[in-house]
Amino acid sequence: MNRVDWNGLDAAQREAVLTRPLAAQAPEVTRTVAAMLADVRARGGEAVREYTRRFDGVDFDGADFDGADVDGAGPGRFRVGADEFAEAAAGLPAALRDAIDEAAARIERFHRDGMGTPYAVDTADGVRCERILRPIGQVGLYVPAGTAPLPSTALMLGVPARLAGCRDVVLCTPPRADGSADPAVLYAAAACGIGTGADGGVFKIGGVQAIAAMAYGAAGLPACDKLFGPGNGWVTEAKRQVSAGGAVGIDMPAGPSEVLVIADAGANPAFVAADLLSQAEHGPDSQVLLLSEDAALLDRVAEALEAQLQSLPRAAIARRALSGSHLVRVESLRQAFEISNRYAPEHLILALRDARAHLQQVRAAGSVFLGDWAPEALGDYCSGTNHVLPTAGAARFCSGVSVASFQVAITVQEVQPRGLVAIGPCAAELAAAEGLEAHRRAVTLRLEAAA
């Protein structure tokens, strides 16, 4: 990792430290993604098939395309069939099945308790205003499975979608070299009720082409109302572009993983190093930052990083991520929180004595982990919170996935004649001030009738 002293940097150098690695590639990524999305929109399933063959090395049956056989499923098709679900469940170790079931239950417990509730209030005598909640009808979930399949993401998306009551849920995940989907991802999807009923389904499609297929409807998938899920920079850019075009909504920018750790002199350097590596191993475009006022701790963490890398299976990936990451010396914890709030990390670990006492200083972060005994990995898997979180600084203005992400809130007004008499003059006066005569008359005509 790069070692810097924050107070020895000028403004441009500070900005460079907080720049995500993918930002330098943005123009190329933007152009390529736009071309791929346009191709899928124009040619549908055939384009999806070609990109799947090119990027995943798998050639699926063309019968899935353009509605010709959208219900067809099986090893040679994009859509996962019942036999594939059964085979996946049977082939998983019992311990892994139990862990998925346990995590699903804990995630459901946390998200169920946080669900919004409808409410109604009388804002005047005879005027009742309400807020009701409705599930989004058709949602598309993206579960990465490139260098590391993520069954946990299927749970993080599938559980709140089920709690929200979404009618149709489709899930896309990249195929393996033999054309199958990752068994653990399938088991997790089935645990959420995805792909096991008449509606929705699981599809073996990855990358930009998966986002395009869910947004526009291709390769047997329906066009979805909203897309969810994390991914690499290409997937994140695809989500951004389809939402900008008005075709579909998205949950948030949820791109390459990132963590920022604020640690004091009492932090365990081995724990801190492990937390940094847990995010660095996601991919070469991940970014990790450590902020501390203690130079000796930075030294010890650097040593621990190198020692742990020696036995890390994904060391090569982690080293590439670390090359774009930083160990940052700050003058105080106050300055560390200022930097963190400016960066707005996806994950924020407070490796501090009495970490909770510092929580009030956090203004922008996707998810916070307090103290030495709360590794970020617990949030990734089974603490109960959601790991689909805003990245690239989006934590300044949006939140991680919850049940509310899969719902829309609709307001309702019911007005009795006495209610119109009570508040109508107010509306008429405001309409006149704005010069909107038809608005004013819509009220005054009723006032006259109610008199």
d(CA 62, CA 49): 8
Angle at alpha carbon of residue 51, lines to 47 and 55, rounded to 5°: 175
What pLDDT does 72 receive? 59
pTM of the predicted model, to two decimals? 0.93
434 labeled binding residue? yes
Helices (H), 323-391: 333-343, 376-381
Check: CB of residue 181 under 8 Å from CB of residue 175. Answer: yes
Chain centroid to CA 197: how far? 25
439 annotated binding-site participant: yes
* pLDDT tens readout for residues 35-61: 999 999 999 999 999 999 999 999 997
pLDDT band at 69 (very low <50, low <70, confident <90, very high): very low
User: Which tens digit of pLDDT belongs to each residue from 107-123?
Assistant: 999 999 999 999 999 99
386 is in an annotated binding site: no
346 as an active site residue: the answer is yes
Residue with tokens 């719902």: 407
> The tokens 């395009």 sit on which residue?
212
To the query of whether residue 358 is one of the catalytic residues in this protein, the response is no
Residue 15 assigned to a binding site: no
Contact predicate 244/236, CB 8 Å: no
Q: What is the mean pLDDT of residues 357-379?
A: 98
Q: How many CB atoms lie within 10 A of CB 413?
A: 10
Catalytic residue among 346, 358, 376, 387: 346
Q: Is 241 annotated as a binding residue?
A: no
Catalytic residue among 111, 326, 347, 387: 347
Whether the Cβ atoms of residue 136 and residue 164 lie closer than 8 Å to each other? yes
Q: Taking a C-beta distance cutoff of 8 angstroms, is the pair 318, 306 a contact?
A: no
* Domains present along the chain, CATH in parentheses: 2-22+256-399 (3.40.50.1980), 44-113+133-250 (3.40.50.1980), 416-450 (no CATH)
pLDDT, tens digit (0-9, with 9 covering 90-100), for 77-102: 899 999 999 999 999 999 999 999 99
Q: Which amino acid is at 385?
A: T
